[in-house]
Amino acid sequence: MESVLAMIYLWLKAGHVIFVIFWMAGLFMLPRYLVYHQEAAPGSPEEALWTERERKLLKIILLPSIIAVWLLGILLATSQHLWGEPWLHAKLLLVLLLSGYHGWLSAYSKKLARGERTLTGKQLRLLNEVPGLVVALIVVLVIVRPF
C-alpha cells in the first residue's frame, strides 16, 4: 500500500493543495455571507436568499473540500512517513482548529436560519480573519518546517 502511495505522491499533493484552496475560499466566503444574512431584515426575501446561499456553499463547496483535505492529507503523511514529525503535529492542531471553526460557522448559519442572531456584524467581520491567520501559520509549518 505504501509503495502505491509513494508512486502517486505528487498527485496526492496536487489534490490536497487544490482542495485546501477550495476549502479556504469557502471559509473566507461564509463569514461574509453570514454578515449579509445577519444584516438582512428578519423574514425578508433577502434573508431567505442568504440562507439558501449559505446552505449551498456549505453542501457543495465546504463539505466535500474538508473531506478531501483530510483524506488526502492523511494519505500524504502516510506515504511520506511523516507521523513522527513535530511540525506535522503542529499543523494538524491548526487544521483541527480550522475544522472546528468550519463546524462553528455551519452551526451559526443554522442559528441565523432559525432567526437567532447572537453576534454582531462587527464580530462576524473579525471572525472572517481567523482562517487567513491560521492558514499563514500552516504554510510556514509545511514549507519552512521550523521544528
User: Cα–Cα distances in Å, from 106 out to 24, 77, 82, 110?
Assistant: 14, 28, 31, 6
Number of structural domains in the chain: 1
DSSP type of residue 71: H
- Cell, residue 32: 461574509
The C-alpha R_g of the chain, in whole angstroms, comes to 18
User: Is 16 annotated among the ligand-binding residues?
Assistant: yes
pLDDT for 61: 98
pLDDT tens per residue, range 57-109: 999 999 999 999 999 999 999 999 999 999 999 999 999 999 999 999 999 99
pLDDT for 26: 97
pLDDT for 38: 93
Determine the Cα–Cα distance for residues 136 and 144; give it in Å rounded to an integer.
12
- Cell, residue 94: 491548526
Instruction: Using alpha carbons, select from 75, 74, 58 the residue that is nearest to residue 22.
Output: 58
Is 5 in a helix, a strand, or coil?
Answer: helix
Domain that holds residue 84: 2-144
pLDDT for 5: 73
Counting Cβ atoms within 10 Å, is residue 63 exposed (0-12), middle (13-18) or buried (19+)? Answer: middle
pLDDT for 3: 76
What is this structure's pTM?
A: 0.92
Q: 120 in the Ramachandran plot: left (φ > 0), alpha (ψ -120 to 50) or beta?
A: beta
pLDDT for 39: 93
User: Is 91 annotated among the ligand-binding residues?
Assistant: yes
pLDDT for 7: 85
Mean pLDDT over the full length of the chain: 95
User: Cα–Cα distances in Å, from 87 out to 24, 71, 95?
Assistant: 21, 19, 12
